[in-house]
Amino acid sequence: MTGTPLLRFEDVHLAFGGLRVLQSLDFDVRAGEATALIGPNGAGKTTVFNVISGVYRPQSGRVLLDGRDLAAVAPRQRIRHGIARSFQNVRLMAHLSVCENLMVGQHVKTNGLRDLLAPFRLMGNHRWRREAIDALAEVGLEAHADAPVGGLPYGIRKQVDLVRATLAGASLVMLDEPAAGLNPTETNALRLHLERLKARGITLLVVEHDMHFIDRISDHVVVLNFGRKIAEGSLAEVRRHPEVRAAYLGIEEAA
């Protein structure tokens, strides 16, 4: 095990009424690595993301980012602390171009949410535009710079969303089922994109059902079932774990 933890869950408990969704959850996301969070539907994976982004507050336990308790950081401030999230339904502004969407991200980093949508300022900022185009070129998407986001295939929008997170200065990017709905070519392009992010030192936390994808991208795998961590290690290690086989991979193999 190498790397210092960028993110740490310490004995986190979360319940909705009587339903215990996360139970004494402990795990680390090491800096610069891709950590995969896997488990059956309803295991609590998306809830973990919601806790990190501040949508839910745990009843007990701590979530530390770089050693700092996130309870002290308001949800809206978390992006400024380098936490970015890529949603299953990409949340880009469909009527704006790819470049404009990226420039909004840069604007958030620089000026916060104040006068967020001041299109003339965005358009006038040539440095931001250049940075946005450079970032697109790095992942082979520069041809789409001026295309309205709404007209692009889902796989491309997904990647533009990742470029947005990177330009906004994310150090931790959370992806919830990024390969869902992508064809094999798009999945491969996404994987290469994530590898580039990792090469730049960006830490990834990925929820994904596609085990082949997990196998290619992840350095470490954490398995949840009913809100508890039942195993962690390499994918090969967790696959051998009896509780994992019973709870999760067993379902897949039986199918």
Site residues for Mg ion per CB under 5 A = 45-46
| b/e sequence 88-124, b meaning 16+ C-beta within 10 Å | eebebeeebbbbbbbbbbbbbeeeeeeeeeeeeebee
Establish if 225 lies at the interface with ligand ADP (CB under 6 A).
no
Question: Smallest Cα–Cα separation from 30: which of 205, 234, 228?
Answer: 205
Longest dimension (CA), the chain: 59
Establish if 46 lies at the interface with ligand ADP (CB under 6 A).
yes
The single residue listed with the structure tokens 């969070």 is 37
Question: Out of Mg ion, ligand ADP, none, which partner does residue 175 contact, by CB within 5 to 8 A per kind?
Answer: none
Establish if 41 lies at the interface with ligand ADP (CB under 6 A).
yes
C-alpha 13/C-alpha 227 separation (Å) is 9
**Token pair of 58, please?**
């745990």
Cβ nearer to ligand ADP, comparing 19 with 199: 19
Establish if 89 lies at the interface with ligand ADP (CB under 6 A).
no
Establish if 45 lies at the interface with ligand ADP (CB under 6 A).
yes
Q: Which of the ranges 34-42, 143-151, 155-163, 215-223 carries the binding residues for ligand ADP, by CB under 6 A?
A: 34-42
Question: Out of Mg ion, ligand ADP, none, which partner does residue 44 contact, by CB within 5 to 8 A per kind?
Answer: ligand ADP
Q: Which residues bind ligand ADP (CB under 6 A)?
A: 16, 19, 21, 39, 41-47
